[in-house]
């Protein structure tokens, strides 16, 4: 039996019926066509599906869409404002933290949360903050450099 949910995604309100077992990641990708967050492992290990729910970074493969009813969700598509990249997005571009791009949306959302909690993290704190996000292409140094640059406002 489907359930009607209403949530705000990237500032826009949506009301839809979903099966109670629908994961938030599937709702975002299939119902709203927001494909920035990726489905990597569906076990919460890789972090490619990270989004914000009520300002908190979560792995959207671990949350049902019905649990987001009445809440505010921000995806990677919602980071840029008025055609300008968010400072974390710009830093990833400038510091070559992108590689293939599969993990990038999750890395961006996690980095944003990290910098909101700690505006001036050390390299060790950055590495610890990104531990729940896996990248298969890099040695992480460019990603760490990007977070440092975003913290410095570069």
Domain of 57, in residue numbers: 3-76
Same domain, 70 and 101: no
Give the count of domains, the chain: 2
pLDDT tens digits, one per residue of 25-73: 999 999 999 999 999 988 889 999 999 999 999 999 999 999 999 999 9
| Distance from C-alpha of 26 to C-alpha of 38, rounded to nearest angstrom | 10
pLDDT tens digits, one per residue of 2-23: 999 999 999 999 999 999 999 9
Domain limit, last residue, from 27, 52, 76: 76
Q: What does pTM read for this prediction?
A: 0.95
Same domain, 94 and 115: yes
Give the pLDDT of residue 154. Answer: 66
Average pLDDT taken over every residue of the chain: 95
């Amino acid at each position: 039996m489907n359930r009607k949910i209403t949530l705000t995604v990237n500032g826009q309100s949506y009301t839809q019926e979903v099966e109670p077992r629908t994961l938030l990641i599937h709702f975002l990708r299939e119902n709203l066509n927001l494909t920035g967050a990726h489905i990597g492992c569906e076990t919460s290990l890789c972090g490619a599906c990270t989004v914000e729910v009520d300002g908190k970074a979560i792995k959207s493969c671990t949350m049902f869409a019905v649990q987001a009813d009445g809440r505010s969700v921000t995806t990677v598509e919602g980071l840029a404002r008025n055609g300008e990249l968010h400072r974390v997005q710009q830093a990833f571009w400038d510091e070559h933290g992108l590689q293939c791009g599969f993990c990038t949306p999750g890395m961006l959302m996690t980095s944003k949360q990290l910098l909101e909690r700690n505006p001036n993290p050390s390299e060790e704190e950055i590495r610890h903050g990104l531990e729940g996000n896996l990248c298969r292409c890099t040695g992480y140094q460019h990603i760490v450099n990007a977070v440092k640059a975003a913290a410095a406002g570069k």
